[in-house]
Amino acid sequence: MPAPGTKKLFANTDIPKRQVLVANFIGGIAWGLGTVIGATVIVAILVYTLNFLGLFDSVKDFFPQSSYPKINQNQSP
């Protein structure tokens, strides 16, 4: 006879192992995707807020406006 309270530990033994593995795999993918999407939203809000406050003005000077040379459209050949 099992010890009292151990019945909860063995309540789900009738679920096939394959079903448990598939459910855990899909749950892991969903957790990872949710983490990436959540972090992207948080970083986007943070960058937008810092840009709104003007804290990116010093960063703009560090990077060039464009890495390609500008072509003057008004020049005639």
Domain boundaries, the chain: 17-57
CB count in 10 Å sphere of residue 65 = 7
Torsion of CA 64, 68, 70, 73, to 10 degrees: -150
| pLDDT, position 60 | 65
Average the pLDDT over 55-75 and give the result.
64
To the nearest whole percent, how much of the chain has pLDDT over 70?
57
| pLDDT, position 8 | 59
| pLDDT, position 73 | 62
For the segment 21-48, what is each residue's pLDDT rounded down to a tens digit? Answer: 999 999 999 999 999 999 999 999 998 8
Whether residue 77 has pLDDT greater than 60: no
| pLDDT, position 65 | 61
